[in-house]
């Protein structure tokens, strides 16, 4: 029970790494607010976990809106009385295109969902945690935050940006009892990965070529590391970018 008695908010919690994290967080004793734009999937997961006896709620939100993010954090505090952990996980891959063919609309959508949303979540999560003088935040970046991926400029730029936000937030809050870290998953079997591979044979070949270990990661393998970073077992870890990629992308 690594998270017994702790409360958490997990964005993008209705599928993939977010869903696996929600399941593991409640198993480890946490109360969880699942945030997603997919209401049907989010409510279904919350109902399932509640039926198992866990303290779990769903919240529908557009995390690219500052008003919505502020209300989301207020809801978590209303439900749980405090906010101990936050997992900023929501993200998209964007349409694969070379830079010279990319539309501003495509670029802006990826920026808003993958980077601006993390900034907004950090802003309001930190306000609550600073008042508590305690808290742990994990931002989900990617191996693409360290390397270049052709035709994925927007995705790479946002994931590099998430690492910069993580290190800055950690530095600003290191004496306030708040830890901020990032997880960099390698190629993980999620709906996002499946969607990326379905967009073209070249994309699928590129992704498969980056996995010399012979298999994709599973969402639960990423979630286990998120739980550890949010737990007191990682009490002396902050500002880190942790690769969880089976020595594939990040090395």
How many angstroms separate the CA atoms of 141 and 222, rounded?
12
Residues 17-50: pLDDT tens digits?
999 999 999 999 999 999 999 999 999 999 999 9
| 155 classed as catalytic | yes
Kindly provide the b/e burial profile for residues 10-26, where b requires at least 16 CB atoms within 10 angstroms of the residue's own CB: bbbbbbbbbbbbbbbbb
- Whether residue 16 has pLDDT greater than 70: yes
pLDDT class of 206 with cuts at 50, 70, 90: low
- Per-residue confidence (pLDDT) for residue 144, from 0 to 100: 86
Question: Which one of the listed residues 59, 155, 236, 246 is annotated catalytic?
Answer: 155
- Per-residue confidence (pLDDT) for residue 196, from 0 to 100: 66
Q: pLDDT over 70 for what percent of the chain?
A: 88
Is pLDDT larger for residue 150 or for residue 101?
A: 101
Q: Which residue has the tokens 């809106």?
A: 65
Cα–chain-centroid distance for residue 56? 18
pLDDT class of 127 with cuts at 50, 70, 90: very high
- Per-residue confidence (pLDDT) for residue 199, from 0 to 100: 64
Q: Which residue has the tokens 């073209």?
A: 200
Is pLDDT larger for residue 214 or for residue 192?
A: 192
Residues 47-83: pLDDT tens digits?
999 999 999 999 999 999 999 999 999 999 999 999 9
- Per-residue confidence (pLDDT) for residue 69, from 0 to 100: 98
Domains, the chain, with CATH or none: 7-186+222-243 (3.40.50.720)
- Whether residue 211 has pLDDT greater than 80: no
- Work out the mean pLDDT of the chain and round it to a whole number: 92
- Whether residue 250 has pLDDT greater than 60: no
Instruction: Identify the three-state secondary structure at position 104.
Output: helix
- Whether residue 147 has pLDDT greater than 70: yes
- Per-residue confidence (pLDDT) for residue 76, from 0 to 100: 98
How many angstroms separate the CA atoms of 96 and 154, rounded?
9
- Whether residue 153 has pLDDT greater than 90: yes
């Amino acid at each position: 029970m690594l998270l017994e008695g702790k409360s958490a908010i997990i964005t993008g919690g209705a599928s993939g790494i977010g869903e696996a994290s929600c399941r593991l967080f409640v198993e480890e004793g946490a109360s969880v607010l699942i945030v997603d734009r997919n209401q049907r999937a989010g409510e279904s997961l919350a109902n399932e976990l509640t039926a198992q006896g866990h303290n779990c709620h769903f919240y529908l939100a557009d995390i690219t809106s500052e008003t919505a993010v502020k209300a989301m954090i207020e809801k978590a505090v209303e439900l749980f009385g405090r906010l101990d952990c936050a997992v900023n996980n929501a993200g998209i891959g964007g349409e694969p295109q070379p830079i010279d063919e990319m539309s501003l609309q495509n670029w802006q959508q990826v920026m808003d969902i993958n980077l601006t949303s993390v900034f907004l979540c950090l802003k309001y999560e930190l306000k609550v945690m600073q008042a508590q003088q305690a808290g742990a935040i994990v931002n989900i970046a990617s191996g693409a935050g360290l390397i270049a991926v052709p035709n994925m400029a927007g995705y790479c730029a946002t994931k590099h940006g998430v690492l910069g936000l993580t290190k800055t937030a950690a530095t600003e809050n290191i004496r306030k009892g708040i830890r901020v870290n990032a997880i960099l998953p390698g190629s993980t079997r999620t709906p996002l990965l499946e969607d990326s591979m379905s967009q073209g044979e070249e994309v699928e070949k590129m992704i498969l070529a980056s996995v010399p270990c012979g298999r994709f990661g599973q969402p639960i393998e990423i979630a286990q590391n998120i739980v550890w970073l949010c737990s007191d077992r990682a009490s002396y870890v902050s500002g880190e970018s942790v690769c969880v990629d089976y020595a594939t992308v990040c090395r």
